[in-house]
Amino acid sequence: MNKLELLRTFVRVSEVSSFTVAADSLGLPRSTVSEQVRALEQLLGTRLFNRTTRRVQATQDGALLYERSKDLLSGMDEIESLFRADDVELTGCLRVDMPTMMARRVIIPALPQFLERFPRLEVEISCTDRQVDLLREGFDCVMRIGALSDLDVVARPVGQLSMRNFASPGYLARHGVPLALADLAEHRLVHYVRNLGARSAGFEYQLDGQVHYQAMAGVVTVNNAEAYSAACLAGLGLIQAPAVGAAEHMARGELVSVLDAWHAPAMPVSLLYARQRHVPRRVQAFMNWLAALLAPQVDRLAGEEKPWRSEGHLR
């Protein structure tokens, strides 16, 4: 049995603490994952996991093997492509996650160009507005818009998205155009929350370098960017969204920018990837392509340095 495959399965189980979740992410039957872990334990002569009906936890030997295996597998990925002169030869599968709206409007329409350049790569795309767990869910790269809370991953800054306030012409015809913050008392906000049941902070704006919130009424709360935009187009209230995402609607006269002097802070755009010594070349290639694709869509960060580049390892 291929020892590297055994290690890859072991590492995946260690990361997700579940044979079932590991099997789903690897595309293998659960029985196969269990057999491969048992085979590795027999090969090494030690128990790697403590198993209960509710939990799978690495033993002391398992934890040590996990740390050694990550570097070994990452190094093997690098070795496999070390002597390939042409990036066209990059192979394997990329699992990535990105916000739904950016995927639909910007990234997926351009994806044929990437796959034409790297014809032997395959891409699995997850589109969601929730904050996925990069390590637990097995993603090679995650595009994140907004503040970062992930401590165990590396973030590559791409830029930031300027924010504006929008309303539909129909809404403004019924409720009037707000010209000052005081006018918001007579208006409705489409509320956006990550989890339904949570309470929206209200209208967000900056004053003297500080972020403030003004509570607003509203009859609709959503947890998805597409629904957020759709609710505004339907005349259900004001929204605060990245300018790039509303550009097409503004060009067609479907949305109008309001209260331009009072807007939320720009949202950072980052690419997240696993903290490891060697970043596989296929992951580097995808991140470099994605950063170049997003460059015209984002504003540069203050003090931004030269474009990011990796020679196959992190310093």
Residue 81 has pLDDT above 60, yes or no: no
Mean pLDDT of 28-52: 88
| pLDDT, position 151 | 66
Same domain, 106 and 244: no
Same domain, 137 and 14: no
Same domain, 69 and 136: no
Looking at residue 75, which CATH number applies to its domain?
A: 1.10.10.10
243-300 confidence digits (pLDDT tens):
888 888 999 999 999 999 999 999 899 999 887 766 788 888 999 999 999 888 888 7
CA 242 – CA 232 distance, rounded (Å):
14
Its domain, for residue 226, covers 163-258
Closest by CA position to 285, among listed 174, 133, 98, 123: 123
Looking at residue 144, which CATH number applies to its domain?
A: 3.40.190.10
Closest by CA position to 65, among listed 23, 14, 21, 26: 14
Structural domain count, the chain: 3
Strand blocks (E) in the chain: 49-51, 56-58, 92-98, 121-127, 141-145, 153-161, 163-167, 191-192, 203-207, 210-214, 221-222, 239-242, 256-258, 267-274
Query: Taking CA 153 as the corner, what is the angle to CA 80 and CA 275, rounded to the nearest 5 degrees?
Result: 35
Instruction: Examine residue 129 and state whether it is found in any structural domain, yes or no.
Output: yes
Sign of the C-alpha dihedral computed for residues 41, 47, 51 and 55 taken in this order = negative
Q: 211 is written with which tokens?
A: 């972020």
Same domain, 75 and 155: no
Instruction: Examine residue 305 and state whether it is found in any structural domain, yes or no.
Output: no
| pTM recorded for the entire structure | 0.67
User: If you average pLDDT over every residue of the chain, what do you get?
Assistant: 84
